[in-house]
Amino acid sequence: MKKLTWFNNVENRTHPWEGLGITWLTTALNVRDVRAALDFYTDVMGMASIAEMEGDDGDLLFARIRYRGTNLTINKEGWYSDLKAPQTSGSPTPFIFYVYVDDVVSLAGEMVQAGSTMLNEPEEMFWGDLRARVQDPFGFIWDLAQKI
């Protein structure tokens, strides 16, 4: 039997939409305030703003951000779908973002300073990562990890 690895199914194909790189999956985050979320994810977490779209009233309805080749969109609650933002529903999302970063301790501290909640302090995991679990001000949970 052939030994499988976590990475043997990675495709190296160009995405059909120029500018989206090799990312074939985009996660959409619903929030009450797109501007606040965009500022948090770019200023605190170091993501790059790719595109923004305002409504007729000048309120930001949509933003596309990127973290090291992975795209996320930020949508104003009620604009794109009827899904509620975690901060409106009162419950965190039933999923966790597991993201590799350069410095878990520093980023977790910066996120807390910017209004996030530390759920699990940085800890060495049995699989060789240093990991902290943080809930951002918008209700999304992030496992920040770095190889040790």
Which tens digits make up the pLDDT trace of 31-69? 999 999 999 999 999 999 999 999 999 999 999 999 988
Higher confidence at residue 55 or residue 86?
55
Most confident of 73-82, 89-98, 131-140: 131-140
Closest CA to 139 of 91, 75, 67, 68: 91
**pLDDT score, position 26:** 81
What would the mean pLDDT of 70-89 be, rounded to a whole number? 83
Q: From the CA atom positions of the chain, what is the Rg in Å?
A: 17
**147 confidence band (pLDDT: 50, 70, 90):** very high
For residue 143, the surrounding DSSP H or E stretch is strand 141-147
Check whether 17 has a pLDDT greater than 70.
no
Of 133 and 83, the structure prediction assigns the larger pLDDT to 133
Q: How high is the pLDDT of residue 25?
A: 73
79 vs 102, higher pLDDT:
102
Name which residue leads in pLDDT, 9 or 143. 143
**pTM (2 d.p.):** 0.83
| E strands, 7-140, in order | 27-31, 48-54, 60-67, 70-76, 96-100, 117-124, 129-135
How much is the pLDDT for 133? 97
Structural domains in the chain?
Answer: 12-88 (3.10.180.10), 92-148 (3.10.180.10)
